Amino acid sequence: MADANLHDDPEVAGRVEADREAMPRTPRWVKVFGIIAIVVVLLFIILMLTRGPGGHGPGRHFGSGSSNSEQLRAGIAHAYGSAVGVCG
């Protein structure tokens, strides 16, 4: 009943109609995804520019045979060995 009374008021009815017609706000997930996408694309562009034309090359992220690569390889080999040990 209260609603019916409210909608009888032309001002309230107009405002309700305006709200319905108003463009919905951008959802939060879109804002979060948008920020992540912009950061990733900017990172990619910066990497491309700083690494020079030709962009991605071998060892751009980890030098071949470098300590980083060695450490990562050792870590993966250890994890792989543990997994095989668990499964076997």
Partner 1 sequence: MMRSGLRKFLLTAHVVCSVGWLGAVVAFLGLAVVGLTSPDSRLVRGTYLVMEPTARLVLVPLAFASLLTGIVQSLGTAWGLFRHYWVVFKLVIAVFATIVLLTYMGTFRAMAGVAADPAADLDVVRNASPLLHAALALLVLLVATVLAVYKPAGPTPYGWRSQQERREAVQQ
List interacting residues with partner 1 (CB under 8 A). Answer: 21, 23-24, 26-27, 29-30, 33, 37, 40-41, 44, 48, 54-62, 64-65, 68-70, 72-73, 76-77, 80
- Quote the CA–CA distance of 46 and 65 in Å, as a whole number: 25
CB of 63 to partner 1, least distance (A): 9
CA distances (Å), origin 50, targets 33, 43, 46, 53, 76: 26, 10, 6, 9, 29
| Distance set, CA 38 to CA 5, 51, 60 (Å) | 48, 20, 22
Which is nearer to partner 1, 10 or 27 (by Cβ)? 27
Residue placing its CB nearer to partner 1 in the complex, 6 or 48: 48
Nearer to partner 1, 6 or 34 (CB): 34
